[in-house]
């Protein structure tokens, strides 16, 4: 037994020696080098001037995190910074701060991944580093579940949306971002110290600042990251939602979000997590902002998932209560008794006009475009009463509202009046962007719901699930137009709407006489404050205006009935005005009426002239037609200068003469009035032997058009007998006939 024990002891001794040798060899090759930097916590401790910060780290329970492996950037306030912080708060030590307050300081100054100054302003894009683009980094700080009070006063457990719209990402804690300002970034973005000092007037821009703090010492290397020493204590910044909700001077502006465009949706994952950690059975709700918003005020991320929050943030311009109330009373509620009656789209448009999906720097208001495509219409010196850089964006308190296009343009006159909801629905299909553009002029003749109803048009939701097709047309008594619904009625309504919109012109006086091209290319005429279109000519009616309002980009007129388009062919109109023997169009009509090659007396169509397409008919006077007969351009009998027009020639050659003459006097695919709008070489209906269109050169001026044919002969419109309105066509009387080269 003794012998065995001795052998065992010797064996153990040999094993220990061998193990010790192996450990020594392992440490020599794989052990931690003596010169390796120590963890962040230890580095701060050894420096000796971070005693308050270390106590805050301990109290926040982040000692193990900062004294262990990791990859962090830590913006570390030194003892001098804390002494200033204590004085500002009226306290003397960390002991007077709660663990939560310490956690907010420590985690907000702790950002993921290690960045030295030379790299911290570079953007980590999906395709690699992009130099000098970043001014924000994601921190270890996040809000989590909190008690929220909704617009009805109900308290509930909530968590902020971490995406815009109604998407929530379960594995994203909605971490806050901290702003910093490096000289290369500022230069790259054409920013100056003035941009920084606009937000932080009591701080100096040093070339490396974190929020309102300056970096005193940069790029201190630690085993688990990089330390930048700062001269101020930075508490976790609120986000845009928190700041609005905790500032009573913006309560009216904020109430629009909270009451009309916020929803709470149960979050099963966070509910389970909260119940496990805290006990009880309370449900947690995700607080979402309407998907139609530029962004969610409580979303700490930016537009996309990933790192784009490093290079950009949101911006909100929030009018103060007195400004908001005045605007609500005088503008939004001009035709409503309360905001509750108003379509949510109006409130959404108002708020979106105050929201930017970008960081709006004070020196770049004019180039910063908001969610609805408008620049920031504020003076940084006189209109901004408060400015803050927050965890997810820039906040500007203002003494005026953003004068949004949809409210200040001609579009706004209908948009803010419930009596014009049918017109707004139609405008929204195609014209909203155009007529709400304050840099383009318009005249609009308003169409009330009652005017539409009087003309037989109603909204019928039973017809379609699509609002754009929920239309019904019931012909008034005596009408020959068939009833219709859905898309067919919509097409009619859109053409009617277009007749009421005059682009690129403000008709400030309707005493006339005058003519104007409408949005659809058709014309209206006005005289003595009455207006009419081709359909009114057919029904022998006029529209009487009874008032107007000016907008920033034009004028709207109110009237007693709608303007309508013509259902007739242009041939019917020529027949109507050309049949009387005293008519200046009589000779032209007689040639057309007897032309078997062109005229169909049953359909009232002219060959080569498609019904409903755009044309301009140039009708020489009877005297001009007589001259064409005398010149042998049109058939006649006898000898010049007393030849008699032969309206129904037997010769095929003469019949072709007539057809070509008429076709050459019809401009194809163009409706041209004497408004000075369109000039140039315009094709006619007549084609040559190669199938190419012949042309007439139009020199257009207000009140007159001069026409030059292919022989350089000229004719002028006779204004008193011109601008006759037809179905997408105009008929003019001219003082000479035009000759073609065939």
CATH of the domain at 82: 2.30.180.10
Distance CA 138, CA 509 (A): 60
The answer, yes or no, to whether residue 14 has pLDDT greater than 70, is no
Six token digits for residue 126: 């999906």
Query: Does 453 fall in a domain?
Result: yes
pLDDT score for 306: 82
State the pLDDT at residue 17. Answer: 43
- Both 349 and 326 in one domain: the answer is yes
Instruction: Tell whether 369 and 483 lie within a shared domain.
Output: no
Burial class of residue 571, CB neighbours in 10 A (0-12, 13-18, 19+) = buried
Count: domains in the chain:
4
Domain contains 26: no
Please answer whether residues 339 and 419 qualify as being in contact, where contact means their C-beta atoms are separated by less than 8 angstroms. Answer: no
- Whether residue 129 is found in the same domain as residue 208: yes
Q: What percent of the chain has a predicted confidence (pLDDT) above 70?
A: 95
Between CA 532 and CA 537 the distance in angstroms is 7
Mean pLDDT of 445-470: 97
The reply to whether 380 and 426 lie within a common domain is: no
End-to-end CA distance of the chain: 134
**Sign of the C-alpha dihedral computed for residues 508, 510, 516 and 520 taken in this order:** positive
Helix 586-593 vs helix 570-578: crossing angle, to nearest 10: 130
In the predicted model, is pLDDT for residue 20 greater than 50? Answer: no
What average pLDDT does the structure give for the chain?
A: 94
Angle, alpha carbons 364-368-370 (nearest 5°):
150
Q: Is the same domain home to 94 and 221?
A: yes
Check residue 472 and give its pLDDT: 98
Structure confidence at residue 742 as a pLDDT band (50, 70, 90): confident
- For residues 283 and 428, membership in a common domain is answered with no
Give the per-residue pLDDT at 304: 80
Cα radius of gyration rounded to whole Å, the chain: 39
Q: Does 313 share its domain with 203? A: no
pLDDT band at 16 (very low <50, low <70, confident <90, very high): very low
pLDDT digits (tens, 9 = 90+) for 577-633: 999 999 999 999 999 999 999 999 999 999 999 999 999 999 999 999 999 999 999
Residues 211 and 66 in one domain: yes
The 10s digit of each residue's pLDDT in 228-268 is 999 999 999 999 999 999 999 999 999 999 999 999 999 99
Q: Determine, yes or no, domain membership for 475.
A: yes
Position 244 in a domain: no
Task: Based on the fold, state whether residues 459 and 523 are members of the same structural domain.
Answer: yes
pLDDT at 656: 97
Tens of pLDDT along 285-316? 999 999 999 999 999 999 986 899 999 999 99
Q: Is residue 417 within 8 Å of 480, Cβ to Cβ?
A: no
Q: Is there a single domain that holds both residue 549 and residue 693?
A: no
- In-domain check, residue 322: yes
552 and 564 Cβ atoms separated by less than 8 Å: no
Determine the pLDDT at residue 507.
Answer: 97
In a domain, 150, yes or no: no
Give the end of a domain, one of 559, 578, 608: 559
Tens digit of pLDDT for each residue in 129-187?
A: 999 999 999 999 999 999 999 999 999 999 999 999 999 999 999 999 999 999 999 99
Residue ranges making up the domain that contains 56: 40-140+177-235
Is 247 part of a structural domain of the chain?
A: no
Same domain, 208 and 67: yes
Measure the CA angle with vertex 533, ends 620 and 474; round to 5°. Answer: 135
> Smallest Cα–Cα separation from 131: which of 189, 78, 73, 83?
189
Q: What is the pLDDT of residues 433-449, one digit of tens each?
A: 999 999 999 999 999 99
pLDDT at residue 37, rounded to an integer:
87
Nearest to 360 by CA among 381, 375, 345, 339: 375
Domain-terminating residue out of 497, 531, 559: 559
10 Å CB burial of residue 44 (0-12, 13-18, 19+) is buried
To the nearest 10°, report the CA torsion of 250, 251, 256, 262: 110
Domain membership of residue 89 (yes or no) is yes
385 and 411 share one domain = no
- Please report the pLDDT score of residue 7 as a whole number: 43
Residue range 33-56, pLDDT digits in tens: 445 689 999 999 999 999 999 999
Domain end point (choices 400, 419, 453): 400
Q: How far apart are CA 370 and CA 368, in angstroms?
A: 7
What CATH number should be reported for the domain holding residue 300?
2.30.180
């Amino acid at each position: 037994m003794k012998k065995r024990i001795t052998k065992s002891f010797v064996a153990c001794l040999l094993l220990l020696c061998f193990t010790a040798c192996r450990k020594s060899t392992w440490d020599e090759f794989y052990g931690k080098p003596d010169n390796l930097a120590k963890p962040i916590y230890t580095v701060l401790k050894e420096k000796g001037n971070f005693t308050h910060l270390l106590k805050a780290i301990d109290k926040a329970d982040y000692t193990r995190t900062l004294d262990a492996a990791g990859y962090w950037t830590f913006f570390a306030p030194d003892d001098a910074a804390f002494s200033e912080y204590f004085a500002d708060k009226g306290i003397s030590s960390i002991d007077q701060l709660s663990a939560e307050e310490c956690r907010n300081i420590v985690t907000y100054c702790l950002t993921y991944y290690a960045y030295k100054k030379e790299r911290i302003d570079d953007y980590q894009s999906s395709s690699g580093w992009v130099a000098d683009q970043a001014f924000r980094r994601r921190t270890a700080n996040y809000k989590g579940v909190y008690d929220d009070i909704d617009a009805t006063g109900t308290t509930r457990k909530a968590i902020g949306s971490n995406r815009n719209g109604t998407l929530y990402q379960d594995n994203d804690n909605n971490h806050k971002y901290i702003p910093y300002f490096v000289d290369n970034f500022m230069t790259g973005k054409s920013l100056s110290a003035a941009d920084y000092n606009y937000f932080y007037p009591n701080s100096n821009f040093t070339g490396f600042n974190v929020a309102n703090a300056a970096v005193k010492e940069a790029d201190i290397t630690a085993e688990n990251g990089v330390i930048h020493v700062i001269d101020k204590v930075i508490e976790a910044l609120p986000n845009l939602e928190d700041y609005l909700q905790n500032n009573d001077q913006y309560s009216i502006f904020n109430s629009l979000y909270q009451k009309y465009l916020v929803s709470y949706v149960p979050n099963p994952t966070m509910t389970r997590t909260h119940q496990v950690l805290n006990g009880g059975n309370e449900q947690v709700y995700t607080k979402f902002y309407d998907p139609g918003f530029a962004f969610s005020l409580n979303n700490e991320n930016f537009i996309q998932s990933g790192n784009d929050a490093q290079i950009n943030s949101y911006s909100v311009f929030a009018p103060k209560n007195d400004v908001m109330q005045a605007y609500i009373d005088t503008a939004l509620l001009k035709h409503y008794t309360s905001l509750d009656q108003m379509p949510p789209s109006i409130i959404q448009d108002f708020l979106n006009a105050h929201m930017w999906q970008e960081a709006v720097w004070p020196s770049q208001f004019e180039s910063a475009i908001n969610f609805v495509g408008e620049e920031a219409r504020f003076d940084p010196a006189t209109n901004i009463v408060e400015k803050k850089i927050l965890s997810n964006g820039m906040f500007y308190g203002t003494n005026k509202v953003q004068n949004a296009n949809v409210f200040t343009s001609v579009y706004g006159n209908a948009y803010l009046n419930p009596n014009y909801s049918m017109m707004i629905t139609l405008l929204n299909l195609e014209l909203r962007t155009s007529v709400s553009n304050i840099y383009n002029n318009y005249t609009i003749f308003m169409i009330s719901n009652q005017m539409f109803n009087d003309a037989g048009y109603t909204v019928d939701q039973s017809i379609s699930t699509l609002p754009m097709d929920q239309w019904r047309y019931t012909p008034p008594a005596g009408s020959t137009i068939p009833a219709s619904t859905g898309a067919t009625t919509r097409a009619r309504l859109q053409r009617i709407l277009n007749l009421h919109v005059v682009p690129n012109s403000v008709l400030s006086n309707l005493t006339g006489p005058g003519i104007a091209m409408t949005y659809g290319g058709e014309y209206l005429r006005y005289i003595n404050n009455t207006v009419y279109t081709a359909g009114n000519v057919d029904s022998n009616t006029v529209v009487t205006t009874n008032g107007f309002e000016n907008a920033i980009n034009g004028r709207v007129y109110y009237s007693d009935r709608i303007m309508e388009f013509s259902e007739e062919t242009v041939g019917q109109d020529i027949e109507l005005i050309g049949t009387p023997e005293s008519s200046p169009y009589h000779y032209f009509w007689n040639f057309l009426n007897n032309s078997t090659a062109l005229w169909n007396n049953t359909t009232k169509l002219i060959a080569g002239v498609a019904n409903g397409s755009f044309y301009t008919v140039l009708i020489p006077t009877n005297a001009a037609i007589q001259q064409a007969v005398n010149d042998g351009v049109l058939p006649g009998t006898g000898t010049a200068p007393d030849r008699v027009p032969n309206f129904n020639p037997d010769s095929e050659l003469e019949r072709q003469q007539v057809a070509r003459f008429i076709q050459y006097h019809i401009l194809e695919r163009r409706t041209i009035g004497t408004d000075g709008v369109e000039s140039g070489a315009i094709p006619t209906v007549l084609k040559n032997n190669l199938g190419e269109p012949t042309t007439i050169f139009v020199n257009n001026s207000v009140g007159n058009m001069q026409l030059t044919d292919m022989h350089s002969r000229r004719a002028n419109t006779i204004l008193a007998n011109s601008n006759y309105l037809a179905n997408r066509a105009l008929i003019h009387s001219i003082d000479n006939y035009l000759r073609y080269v065939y």
